[in-house]
């Protein structure tokens, strides 16, 4: 094997790494080796209070609750925000809303009502760039939101 092979191997490695860092390598099942807080919650590296889980989705309590029930529902595979969703996320989206139904029942807010919200980008106040749906309940809420 000459230096040509080595160069090909190195550049293939670099392309793989760039794609993984971008979070777009479907073969890896999402985002690997990067600094995403909710990927770390999913992997268990950052501890969380788990509320419910499926193969594709995790629900855990928000660290700074804004209502008596404040649960975050996230896809285990990294997605930056709702703006990045496509048909390839259909299964996860079905799971996310099924998990919201289960969590609402489990938390006892299904009959009183609750809000599901996801923030996209700066003006909406998104602070963690891994898709998450806030499920808020247990108190009356105003509309429009601030
Ligand atoms: P966003 O502002 O992006 O819509 O929502 C991010 C949410 O993540 C906030 O409600 C914030 O309290 C919550 N959060 C931030 N860091 C952590 C953490 O380490 N653990 C948990 N459970 N929630 C967090
Ligand atoms: Zn992530």
Q: How far is the CA of 111 from the centre of ligand 2 (A)?
A: 32
Measured CA to CA, the distance from residue 62 to residue 2 in angstroms comes to 54
Residue 72's pLDDT band, with cuts at 50, 70 and 90, is very high
**Pure H helices in 23-144:** 37-43, 90-106
Q: For residue 17, is pLDDT > 90?
A: no
132 is catalytic: yes
Across the range 88-113, mean pLDDT stands at 98
Q: Express as a percent the part of the chain with pLDDT over 90.
A: 76
Measured CA to CA, the distance from residue 123 to residue 34 in angstroms comes to 25
pLDDT value at residue 21:
42
Q: For residue 9, is pLDDT > 90?
A: no
Ligand 1 contacts (CB < 6 A) are 37, 46, 48, 60-64, 119, 125-128
pLDDT value at residue 5:
45
Q: How far is the CA of 8 from the centre of ligand 1 (A)?
A: 42
pLDDT value at residue 43:
97
pLDDT value at residue 93:
98
Across the range 67-81, mean pLDDT stands at 98
Q: Poorest-confidence range of 18-22, 35-39, 60-64, 128-132? A: 18-22
**Which ligand gives the minimal distance to the CA of 49?**
1
pLDDT value at residue 53:
97
**Which ligand gives the minimal distance to the CA of 128?**
1
Measured CA to CA, the distance from residue 60 to residue 53 in angstroms comes to 9
Round the average pLDDT of the chain to a whole number and report it.
85
Identified catalytic residue from 78, 130, 132, 134:
132
What's the CATH fold of domain 5-137? HIT family, subunit A (3.30.428)
- Candidates 51, 80, 66, 146; CA nearest to 114 is 66
């Amino acid at each position: 094997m000459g230096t040509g092979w080595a160069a090909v191997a190195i550049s293939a490695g670099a392309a793989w790494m760039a794609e993984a860092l971008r979070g777009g390598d479907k073969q890896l099942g999402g985002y690997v080796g990067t600094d995403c807080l909710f990927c770390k919650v999913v992997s268990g590296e950052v501890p969380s209070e788990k509320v419910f889980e499926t193969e594709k989705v995790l629900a855990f309590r928000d660290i700074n609750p804004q209502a008596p029930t404040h649960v975050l529902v996230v896809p285990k595979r990294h997605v930056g925000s709702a703006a990045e969703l496509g048909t390839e996320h259909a299964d996860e989206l079905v799971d996310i809303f099924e998990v919201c139904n289960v969590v609402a029942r489990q938390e006892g807010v299904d009959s009183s009502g609750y809000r599901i919200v996801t923030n996209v980008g700066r003006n909406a106040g998104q602070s963690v760039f891994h898709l998450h749906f806030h499920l808020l309940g247990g108190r009356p809420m105003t509309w429009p939101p601030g």
